[in-house]
Amino acid sequence: MATQQTDGRRLTIREVAQTLGVSTATVSRAIHGRGRISPATRARILRQLEQLGYTPNLHAQSLARQRSMAVALEYLGEVEVLSDSFLVELARGVQKSLVPHRYRLLVNLTGDQEYRRSVLRQWIRARVVDGVIVVANPCIDVDWLAALAEEGVAAVWIAYDAPDPTPPRTAVVQLDLSTGWSEAVAYLRECGHRQVGYLGAYPDDPALAIIHSVAECCGLQLAPLIFAHSEMPADGYEATVRLLQHRPLPTALLARTDLLAFGAMQALQQHGVRVPDEMAVIGHDDLPIAQWMNPPLSSIQIDYAQLGRSAVELLMRLLSNPDEPPVPSRVATRFVPRRSSAPATPPQRRR
């Protein structure tokens, strides 16, 4: 079918128009269905375009309309080896929602925070992307996000709480951590746990406050609080070894992140603490790998598809009518119990 130019050149709209005996304007109108064109001509041209195998040059298109039809996904925080499972799941959710809008997704996977921020800035200024979706983890970096808004780009933030004054052209999808953690905490309480430890990476993480409040609500004591150097499993391991010094030892451990939980489980097991009998472990994000751990890791699930959908929907709205103030959106989380937090044979104190 598709007629090929053998010399590596592609067909241009001018050539196509010429062979079809119409003007370039008509071809363009046929392609986009915008402007005044008779349905008959349009159908005919579309059919012939298909035959010729013509594809418009995207750069020319982006230049002429002032839109690149691409958005960037950026993770505010250090992306290191493996810590991006979360990012990939999210990217997939976002990309899937982007397809019907004919938008592409750009993700930068490498470099440290500073470098990636500068790349994003370049992309915005060079008109590579029309909008950005920013995962603000653990906290909203208000200054930087304001600077982003200054660039005049449409932005959607995925965050744990909405910032007070939202900059222009900016919308927020709130990832509601309280739902999932409430379920988890209630579950633990029901299993007879009284004191649960917390393993996180940042003392100022909004998640900590949320967890603290839902635990209190439930009559659970949240202690001790242990902080790892980063959200990588290795640091979770190291922090958990420190946790083991504490007395009394909690009977359950809430890890801010699955990755931290992975490290924690290994530390516990290597130090002879049986999971879940002596210590229940619960993670967060429900990475696909969680169910394949030994024991399978209980975790708090994020509906990535929904998260992506909400973010994209808001972004598209910002792009089409820049002035209408966007309504914020909210996505709930859900506790998924697995064996790592199974109701223990009556919770035994260690030694």
Label the pairing between strands 170-176 and 131-136: unpaired
Distance of CA 329 to the CA centre of its chain: 14
- Select 43 or 63, whichever has its Cβ closest to a copy of itself: 63
Query: Among DNA, a copy of itself, none, what binds residue 178 when CB lies within 5 to 8 Å by partner kind?
Result: none
Q: What is the DSSP string of 88-147?
A: HHHHHHHHHHHGGGT-EEEE---S-HHHHHHHHHHHHHTTS-SEEEEEE-SS--HHHHHH
Q: Out of 65, 229, 246, 274, point to the residue binding DNA (CB under 7 A).
A: 65
Query: Which one-letter amino acid corresponds to residue 294?
Result: N
- Select 57 or 348, whichever has its Cβ closest to a copy of itself: 57
Residues 73-112, one symbol each (x = binds a copy of itself by CB under 8 A, - = not), give --------xx-xx--xx-xx--xx--x----xxxxxxxx-
What are phi and psi for residue 30, nearest 5 degrees?
A: -60, -40
Count of residues that bind DNA according to CB under 7 A:
34
- Footprint on residues 28-47 left by DNA (CB under 7 A): 28-29, 31-32, 34-38, 41-42
Label the pairing between strands 104-107 and 170-176: unpaired
Query: Among a copy of itself, DNA, none, what binds residue 8 when CB lies within 5 to 8 Å by partner kind?
Result: a copy of itself
Q: Out of 3, 10, 19, 111, point to the residue binding DNA (CB under 7 A).
A: 10
Q: Out of 37, 156, 214, 293, point to the residue binding a copy of itself (CB under 8 A).
A: 293
Stretch of 50-58, 190-198, 206-214, 329-337 contacting a copy of itself, by CB under 8 A:
50-58
**Which of 214, 179, 213 has its CA nearest to residue 332?**
179
Does 2 bind DNA (CB under 7 A)? Our answer is: no
Query: Among a copy of itself, DNA, none, what binds residue 174 when CB lies within 5 to 8 Å by partner kind?
Result: none
Does 146 bind a copy of itself (CB under 8 A)? Our answer is: no
- Runs of H (alpha helix) within the chain: 13-20, 24-32, 39-52, 58-64, 85-98, 113-125, 142-150, 177-190, 206-217, 233-243, 258-270, 304-320
Query: Which one-letter amino acid corresponds to residue 260?
Result: L
Measured CA to CA, the distance from residue 28 to residue 37 in angstroms comes to: 10
- Select 64 or 142, whichever has its Cβ closest to DNA: 64
- Footprint on residues 237-276 left by a copy of itself (CB under 8 A): 262-263, 265-266, 269
Measured CA to CA, the distance from residue 267 to residue 244 in angstroms comes to: 9
- b/e per residue 76-112 (b: at least 16 CB within 10 A): bbebeeebeebbebbbebbbebbeeeebebbbbeeee
Q: Binding residues for a copy of itself, per CB under 8 A?
A: 4-8, 10, 53, 55-60, 62-63, 68, 81-82, 84-85, 88-89, 91-92, 95-96, 99, 104-111, 122, 125-128, 150-152, 233, 262-263, 265-266, 269, 288-289, 292-294, 296
Query: By the criterion CB under 7 A, which residues form the site for DNA?
Result: 9-14, 21-29, 31-32, 34-38, 41-42, 54-57, 60-61, 63-66
